[in-house]
Amino acid sequence: MAPDRRRTDRTAAFVNAACDLRGQVSRAHVTDISHDGCRAEVKVAGMAPGDRVMLTLSKLLVLPATVVWVNGAEIGCAFANPMLGAMLSEFALRDSRNRRLH
């Protein structure tokens, strides 16, 4: 197994999002997130490491990212700019509300 090169810890998540790859928008499901990136399940054919995507997590939170790895329908992304602590905290709060509703 390759060493984990993440700079920050990831937090489990349960958030519906959208993933835009070259104008092709697909539903996405973010399953973990950190200041620097996330893992998501997507249904976009032909995605490869190095692809640039836009992840829309809410109306106010749209994050440009680069795909780092692809494993079937799962992708790992590195954000172009790290999420600020307040943004991640708000995201975690919204995530916990979503979990209570399911």
Chain segment 1-15, per-residue pLDDT in tens: 444 554 556 677 788
Higher pLDDT, 100 or 70: 70
Q: How confident is the model at residue 102 (pLDDT cuts 50, 70, 90)?
A: very low
**Assigned token pair, 43:** 């249904």
Domains along the sequence of the chain with CATH: 11-86 (2.40.10.220)
* Nearest by Cα to 62 from 98, 25, 9: 25
Whether pLDDT at 76 is above 90:
yes
Pairing of strands 37-42, 52-58: unpaired
User: Alpha-carbon distance 22 to 32, whole Å?
Assistant: 23
